Amino acid sequence: MKLWFKILKDDKMIYSATEENSLSLNQEDYERTLTEMCHKANLSTPVSLVPHFMSLVRFNVTDYLPRDFIESVDFDKVIIENISEEDS
């Protein structure tokens, strides 16, 4: 799986990173990868629900709003995009 992790504030990207690993695109592996990406961005992990994962599977993109985080955050949105070539 290869995911593009973006943090947006005021419609501007303030952080961007990709994470690639040999894990498959299932909910457990996705959540593990999401936790790793958030840790690298020095960000708490959002509450990831089934609709978040299903959006990633169906549309190759999902997003998290500040309300999805337990701690307060200083941005508008986190976008996770599946950029795996075999899933395109």
pLDDT at 86: 61
Cα separation of 87 and 64, whole Å?
22
> Would the pLDDT of 88 be above 50?
no
Is the pLDDT at 28 greater than 80? The verdict is: yes
Please report the beta strands in 10-87, taking only residues with DSSP state E, as ranges in sequence order. Answer: 12-20, 61-64, 77-82
CA pair distance 25, 33, nearest whole angstrom:
10
Query: How is residue 35 written in tokens?
Result: 């936790």
Q: Rounded to two decimals, what is the model's pTM?
A: 0.89
